[in-house]
Amino acid sequence: MNKAANANRGPAIADGELRPDSSLSPEAVRALIRAGRYTGATSGLAPGYVQGNLVILPRDVAGDFLAFAQQNPKPCPVIGMSETGSARVPTLGATIDLRTDLPRYRVWKHGELIAEVSDILSYWRDDLVSFVIGCSFSFEEALIEDGIPLRHVSCGANVAMYRTNIACAPAGAFAGPMVVSMRPLKPADAIRAIQITSRFPAVHGAPVHIGKPEQIGIEDISKPDYGDPVEVKDDELPVFWACGVTPQAVIGAAKPAFAITHYPGSMLITDKRNSQLSAF
Amino acid sequence: MNKAANANRGPAIADGELRPDSSLSPEAVRALIRAGRYTGATSGLAPGYVQGNLVILPRDVAGDFLAFAQQNPKPCPVIGMSETGSARVPTLGATIDLRTDLPRYRVWKHGELIAEVSDILSYWRDDLVSFVIGCSFSFEEALIEDGIPLRHVSCGANVAMYRTNIACAPAGAFAGPMVVSMRPLKPADAIRAIQITSRFPAVHGAPVHIGKPEQIGIEDISKPDYGDPVEVKDDELPVFWACGVTPQAVIGAAKPAFAITHYPGSMLITDKRNSQLSAF
């Protein structure tokens, strides 16, 4: 079955879709995805390996986007980048083809979503530059391995995310507030989580805030702007990390003539190990 | 003037006492102290160099104390130790003589304070073992250099300290609750302070608690058990570090037949740089 034939089947997971075995290598998972046999979420696949957000932009705005990322490394940590017109990011995996290796994509024109597709072969252009941006899956794995419970993970929910009053440094058309993800943690776990995530600057790094949501413009912690609400218990502090939804929100506001992103939750699975992202 | 002649002049700072210039080397400051020319607090002297708490115990209980320290490294980080009967700790400074080089000492018998003196030459015994324990001055210097304001320092006050409900792991007669010091910090500064102090495990390391004082048995944050109260503003979190007062309190409760400690605030000034205590 050729994946391109399914290009417009949309975001719903296909009936009878093959859920890749979590013991498969990143390359084997990508091969299944490339063959059109899986179009779902990538959470839990190829455990131990880095997954990334994807942003593809025409060259004429890609420079500004890279400048935005350079100035806002916590919400927008670039972990890989293609050459213009190339769908390869060899630093993240020799066999990666960004046109086919993610389960689902979103295609945008002037800030409007025009298609959700399982490959982007028909949308490819020679002037496109691709960015792979670090994702909190990497640091969440390190937290869980350390014994720190993450409620949204144990509930099978999406992490709660909020627009803040923290302004990103603008670059060209790219500007806007930082979006943060929130995890409720007991105080000692919060301290340990700060230590662990400090080792991972390539996937948002240390939190940007702890406690006191009102200080960063969050009026109601029970009403996230993205994702699912999660309870913060009396003996817990809400801990806030810069979130990869920030660049997506910023691109939505900048309305570039053309853009492609991953479909939320359907990430690029790379050959890099999460531990290789540790700065020390 | 021979320092021994002043041995019993007590804790008051002598009239006309020479305040050592802060540009003096650790060795030069120790030489002034040894000569009996300074019996005050050591905060601010020999900036950049490690200062330590001193605990001296007879050999028959020193082993248990070392076991206590080994099991409670956050409140009781041993950064230097003498051989039995020796007043030298060459790893902290070739010329250190623990009998004369601290401005003031406290001498204890069966948990009772029996003397406050400016040298311990007349109390020295061949069975004594000396421990130098890391002090928060080292990490406070790193915090201040990073631009994090510390209210008790800017107020010229002692840090606020509290007995908690966190039990230390016991060893022989040495047992008791952990004492913590508290510094009020804005959330982003608290995160940065956790990062910075994590690099300094030899001087209490990362905080043990943040926010929510009631969880560790502190009922009224405005009433510290030791030191001076300090305001916690609405936009701040109280951040709690394990404190070197813990071993002092534990020794007080264990009531060994004989003990000598430094006089609070009058520390051993070593030849080691604070930066050399950084684990990474």
Q: Does A182 touch chain B (CB under 8 A)?
A: no
Distance CA B116, CA A173 (A): 69
Instruction: For A63-122, give the DSSP string.
Output: HHHHHHHHH-TTT--EEEEPPTT----TTT-TT--TTTSSS-EEEEETTEEEEEES--GG
Tokens, residue A53: 């957000």
Domains in chain A, CATH or no CATH each: 3-127+250-275 (3.40.1640.10), 138-247 (3.30.2040.10)
State residue B2's pLDDT score: 43
State residue B220's pLDDT score: 97
Mean pLDDT of chain B: 93
Beta bridge partners of residue B132, listed in sequence order:
B54, B80
State residue A9's pLDDT score: 40
Which chain A residues have a beta carbon less than 8 Å from that of B178? none
Of the pLDDT bands very low, low, confident and very high (cuts 50, 70, 90), residue A12 is very low
Tens-digit pLDDT profile for residues A189-199: 999 999 999 99
Indicate whether A11 pLDDT > 90.
Answer: no
Angstroms from B85 CA to nearest CA on chain A: 40
What is the number of other CB atoms lying within 10 angstroms of the CB of residue A199?
17
Q: How far is CA B30 from CA A237, B1, B274, in A?
A: 45, 15, 17
Q: Does B232 touch chain A (CB under 8 A)?
A: no
Tens-digit pLDDT profile for residues A214-255: 999 999 999 999 999 999 999 999 999 999 999 989 998 999
Tens-digit pLDDT profile for residues B248-280: 899 989 999 999 999 988 999 999 999 999 988
Mean pLDDT score, A179-193? 98
Mean pLDDT score, A195-218? 97
Q: Does B191 touch chain A (CB under 8 A)?
A: yes
State residue B96's pLDDT score: 98
Instruction: For A202-266, give the DSSP string.
Output: GGT-S-SEES-GGGGT-S-TTS-SBS------TT-EEEEEE-THHHHHHHHHH--S-EEEEPTT-
Tens-digit pLDDT profile for residues B154-192: 998 989 999 999 999 999 999 999 999 999 999 999 999
Which chain B residues have a beta carbon less than 8 Å from that of A233? none
Indicate whether A259 pLDDT > 80.
Answer: yes
A195, B215: Cβ pair inside 8 Å?
no
Tens-digit pLDDT profile for residues B6-42: 444 444 445 557 788 888 999 999 999 999 999 999 9
Q: Does B206 touch chain A (CB under 8 A)?
A: yes
Indicate whether B240 pLDDT > 80.
Answer: yes
Distance CA A46, CA A33 (A): 13
State residue A21's pLDDT score: 84
Of the pLDDT bands very low, low, confident and very high (cuts 50, 70, 90), residue A3 is low
State residue A1's pLDDT score: 38
Beta bridge partners of residue A51, listed in sequence order:
A269
Instruction: Give me the residues of B, 116-175, that contact A with CB < 8 A.
Output: none
Option in B187, B195, B209 nearest A209 (CB): B187
Which chain B residues have a beta carbon less than 8 Å from that of A210? 187, 190-191, 210-211, 237
State residue B280's pLDDT score: 85
Distance CA A189, CA B178 (A): 18
**H/E stretch holding A60:** helix A59-71
Q: Can you give the pTM of this predicted structure?
A: 0.88
Tens-digit pLDDT profile for residues A147-158: 999 999 999 898
Q: Which residues make Cβ contacts (< 8 Å) with residue B32, sequence separation at least 6?
A: B18, B20, B24, B38
**Is B228 strand, coil or helix?**
coil
% of chain B beyond a pLDDT of 70: 94
Determine phi and psi for B109, rounding to 5 degrees. Answer: -130, 125
Determine phi and psi for A189, rounding to 5 degrees. Answer: -65, -35
Q: Using the 8-state DSSP alphabet, how is residue B126 labeled?
A: T
HSE toward the beta carbon, residue B264, CA cutoff 13 A? 11
Mean pLDDT score, B182-209? 97
A191, B194: Cβ pair inside 8 Å?
yes
State residue A18's pLDDT score: 80
Of the pLDDT bands very low, low, confident and very high (cuts 50, 70, 90), residue B213 is very high
Option in A187, A215, A280 nearest B215 (CB): A187
Angstroms from A131 CA to nearest CA on chain B: 29
State residue B259's pLDDT score: 97
Give me the interface pTM, i.e. the ipTM.
0.84
Indicate whether A258 pLDDT > 80.
Answer: yes
Rg over alpha carbons for chain A, rounded to the nearest Å, is 18
Tens-digit pLDDT profile for residues A21-41: 888 999 999 999 999 999 999
Distance CA B104, CA A153 (A): 55
Q: Does B210 touch chain A (CB under 8 A)?
A: yes
Mean pLDDT score, B79-108? 97
